Amino acid sequence: MFVDAHAHLDKYGDLLDEALQQIQQHRIFTIATAMDLPSYFQLQRIAERSDLVLPTFGVHPRRAPEYADRLDELSPFIEQSPAIGEIGLDFHWVEDSSQYPAQLKVLEYFFAAAREQKKMINLHTKGAEKNILDLLEKYDIQRAIIHWYSGPLDILRAMAQFGAYFTVGVEVLYSDAIRAIAKEIPDHLLLTETDNPGGLKWLKGVVGMPTEIKKVVDSIAALRGASSVSVARTVHENFLRLITGDPWLEDVRGLLSQ
Ligand SMILES: [Zn+2]
């Protein structure tokens, strides 16, 4: 079984059927992260079609300004979601710094809920890696997936020390900086993702399909001088360890333990 720890299945449009077929056929367990409420509702419907799809609720930092003053509305959806994400900060692609306080407000609301509900979270950290590290410590968030990390190596090491897991995604096929990061991530904290369908679209102008995860695994294997099978197994074991004891994800654990 492959693990795609961060994808946006609601963005597939006409290609959704094909994407779900690939997920089934190639056994790709997929965390379907939401960007906002409408996206979460869509993902919940999509997940009814596959037991390999886990829909999770979050508000993406780009969407944070729309939600910062109506956080109470979010709480029932946070409560029903089995894990949290996509949430985070983006101080790089979002250049308008007047939006940063809203990003922080939304993120801290989710962090407080995740701590209380003991939920795994899926994090966007672009250009705000140190801020995220500080907040992970402040809220004592034990189970975090740092998605598509591309920041400084010293912060990566500090996050790893704290116990965060990291996804390597499709950019490992094209970027030396990401390859350096992929080599730096300790074995026991390594996960894989695609950020489909937009990740590859952003990099190469083509829609990313679920089987891209295999290329990511192959690429990590080549970098680490390991076999693809052993990298896929390591990622699988890491993900199982990450969700061990999580009452929200017992079914997932059962499914992945088969
Ligand atoms: Zn994403």
What gap in Å lies between CA 35 and CA 101, rounded to an integer? 18
CA 144 / ligand 1 centre spacing (Å)? 14
Its sign, for the CA torsion 147, 148, 154, 160, is positive
Cα 13 to averaged position of ligand 1 atoms, centre (Å): 16
Ligand 1 midpoint to CA 27 (Å): 21
Residue 170 CA to ligand 1 center (angstroms) comes to 12
User: Percent of the chain scored above 90 by pLDDT?
Assistant: 95
Q: Structural domain tally of the chain?
A: 1
pLDDT digits (tens, 9 = 90+) for 218-251: 999 999 999 999 999 999 999 999 999 999 999 9
In whole angstroms, give the CA distance from residue 255 to residue 1: 10
For range 13-24, the mean pLDDT: 97
186 lies in which domain range? 2-257
CATH of residue 86: 3.20.20.140
143-165 pLDDT per residue, tens: 999 999 999 999 999 999 999 99
- What's the order of all strands across the beta sheet hosting 2-7? 2-7, 28-33, 53-56
The full DSSP string for 64-127 is HHHHTT-GGGGHHHHHHSSSEEEEE--SSS---GGGHHHHHHHHHHHHHHHHHHT--EEEE-TT
Question: Look-up: residue for tokens 């004592």?
Answer: 140
DSSP reduced 3-state for 26? coil
> Is the pTM value of this prediction over 0.95?
yes
